[in-house]
């Protein structure tokens, strides 16, 4: 019943992505997105500008195959997702955590250390398991 309500009113959930999630997202078919959207509403993927910078650096430091994947991730970020400016920080993960807390959005990552830190901040975390999008933790608020 709740899922239908979300669809009816077109509720959306902003999800900020880290580099690891974005790279897997563009290279692997992902299942279960519809189930997550049925519960939370349409997922609005946000790509931090610092992730784009990280990808551009990675593009020049990797081999041809990975470089093509990185280029695809950059292109997809601008064409299918929304690129957002985040507060500059010493580390990309810090910028993502700060943005998620400030803007009350979920975070998509496959990075275990980042997931642990997000859990400490009681944030909704989306991750991948066997090429399926899953909720790693859910905010209690």
Instruction: Per residue of the chain (141 residues), give pLDDT as tens.
Output: 344 444 444 588 999 999 999 998 888 878 778 888 888 889 999 999 999 999 999 998 988 888 999 999 999 999 999 999 998 888 999 999 999 999 999 999 999 999 999 999 999 999 988 888 888 865 444
Identify the pLDDT of residue 75.
Answer: 93
Cα-atom radius of gyration of the chain, to the nearest Å? 15
Domain 2-137: top CATH class: alpha beta
Phi, psi of 130 (to 5 degrees): 55, 45
pTM of the model: 0.84
- Strands of 42-48's sheet in order across: 82-84, 42-48, 12-17, 106-108, 125-129, 132-137
- Whole-angstrom Cα distance, residue 60 to residue 54? 10
């Amino acid at each position: 019943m709740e899922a239908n309500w979300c669809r009816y009113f077109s509720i959306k959930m902003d999800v900020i992505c880290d580099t690891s999630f974005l790279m897997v997202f563009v290279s692997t078919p992902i299942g279960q997105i519809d189930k997550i959207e049925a519960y939370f509403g349409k997922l609005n993927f946000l790509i931090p500008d610092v992730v784009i910078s990280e990808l551009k650096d990675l593009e020049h430091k990797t081999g041809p195959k990975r470089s093509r994947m990185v280029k695809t991730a950059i292109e997809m970020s601008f064409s299918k997702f929304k690129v957002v400016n985040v507060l500059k920080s010493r580390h990309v993960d810090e910028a993502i955590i700060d943005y998620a807390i400030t803007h009350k959005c979920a975070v998509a990552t496959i990075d275990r250390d980042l997931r642990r830190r997000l859990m400490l901040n009681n944030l909704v975390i989306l991750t991948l398991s066997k090429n399926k999008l899953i909720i790693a933790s859910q905010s209690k608020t």
